[in-house]
Amino acid sequence: MRSGEDFRQRLLPELRAGQLYNCGVVRAEVLRGIKLPSMRDAMCDFFDIIPEVPCDAKLWRQVSELGWSLGRRGKWPPITDLTIAVCAQRVGATVITSDAHFRDIPNLETRADL
């Protein structure tokens, strides 16, 4: 989005194929950074049609355990990244990111671009 590209069109095939998921942390991170109200509204509408991984008590226990185990190895990814990773693992999804923190998370598939 920083480049001005509307990536929603590029994600539609994955959404139609049932291969696109979101979580509340991603929604909050993306929406808080959007400056234009019209673009924010459009992204809200887009997020509303993407299946969202529920962040229940079990997920938060998994986030806590992952954070603890990585911390024992000297790795301290942000809680947001841990939450995104656990949500992705829950549904077997690949995380699209260039954030190096995700490389420290075992058994997590990532890719840098759409």
Other C-beta atoms lying within 10 Å of the C-beta of residue 70: 18
pLDDT above 90 for 6: no
In this prediction the pTM is 0.87
CATH number at residue 65: 3.40.50.1010
Task: Name the range with the highest mean pLDDT among 13-22, 26-35, 59-68.
Answer: 59-68
Range of the domain at 40: 8-111
- Would you say residue 16 lies in a domain? yes
Report the run of H or E that residue 82 belongs to, with start and end.
Answer: helix 79-91
Alpha carbon distance 107, 109 (integer Å): 7
pLDDT at 3: 65
Share of the chain above pLDDT 90, in %: 75
Is 23 a residue whose pLDDT tops 70?
yes
Inside any domain, residue 88? yes
For β-strands 110-111 and 95-96, DSSP reports them as parallel
pLDDT at 5 over 80: no
Number of domains in the chain: 1
Q: Measured in whole angstroms, how far is the alpha carbon of residue 83 from the centre of its chain?
A: 8
Is 3 within the bounds of a domain? no
**Residue 2 falls inside a structural domain:** no
- Are the CB atoms for 30 and 1 separated by under 8 Å? yes
Half-sphere exposure of 107 (CA within 13 A, CB side): 9
